[in-house]
């Protein structure tokens, strides 16, 4: 079942369609007699060349249903973002960074943690804007990189962006930890002084 889905997906892909157009050009060359006895190689070679130069399939960036900084809306949009990130092909270091960021966002979006409107705004911006934009820009730039080699690799920008976002969200986690530590200290002092 999965194999037939993949074959159907490839049949309608940009790579296959571009390869078919180039293969048809090979048939045209064959009909003029220019390819001679090597016509199967010409058709197959042009198909392969077309499939190689075609831009890769890339999932559409997610469209988020919610706007504003309501926690339930950000959670729903985070689920949409995760589905998008699962479809995108990323190099291993970037995939690890995305996974770490997803884990952190999931923890911060757990009920009862982020209640400060400013922190919630930072989370909403990361989920709805920063992460999708960083990943989509990487996917688009990666394809063009092969036509202009020697430039700074797009992976480095993606990894830097993800590291900056992780640092920003780690700051929220640290603030939450500090407030819980203060709460714990206050309660310890209260319990100890009550016993006196």
Q: What is the pLDDT at residue 5?
A: 65
In 10 A of CB 41, how many CB atoms?
11
| Pairwise CA distance, residues 149 & 36, whole Å | 36
Mean pLDDT by 10 residues, the chain (196 residues): 66 76 82 81 82 73 73 88 90 92 91 84 91 90 73 84 93 82 82 76
Q: What is the pLDDT at residue 130?
A: 92
Q: What is the pLDDT at residue 104?
A: 93
Contact indicator for 82, 102 with CB cutoff of 8 Å: yes
| Pairwise CA distance, residues 86 & 96, whole Å | 12
In 10 A of CB 170, how many CB atoms?
14
């Amino acid at each position: 079942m999965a194999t037939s889905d993949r074959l159907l997906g490839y049949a309608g892909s940009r790579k296959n369609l571009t390869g078919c157009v180039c293969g048809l050009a090979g048939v045209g060359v064959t009909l003029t007699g220019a390819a001679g006895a090597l016509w199967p190689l010409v058709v197959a070679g042009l198909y392969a060349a077309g499939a190689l130069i075609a831009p890769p399939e890339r999932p559409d960036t997610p469209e988020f249903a919610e706007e504003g900084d309501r926690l339930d809306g950000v959670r729903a949009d985070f689920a949409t973002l995760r589905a998008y990130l699962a479809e995108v092909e990323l190099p291993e270091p970037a995939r690890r960074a995305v996974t770490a960021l997803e884990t952190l966002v999931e923890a911060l979006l757990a009920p009862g943690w982020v209640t400060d409107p400013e922190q919630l705004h930072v989370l909403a911006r990361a989920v709805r804007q920063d992460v999708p934009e960083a990943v989509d820009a990487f996917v688009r730039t990666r394809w063009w990189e092969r036509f202009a080699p020697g430039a700074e690799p797009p992976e480095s920008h993606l990894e830097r962006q993800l590291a900056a976002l992780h640092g920003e969200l780690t700051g929220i986690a640290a603030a939450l930890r500090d407030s819980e530590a203060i709460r714990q200290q206050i309660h310890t002092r209260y319990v100890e002084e009550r016993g006196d």
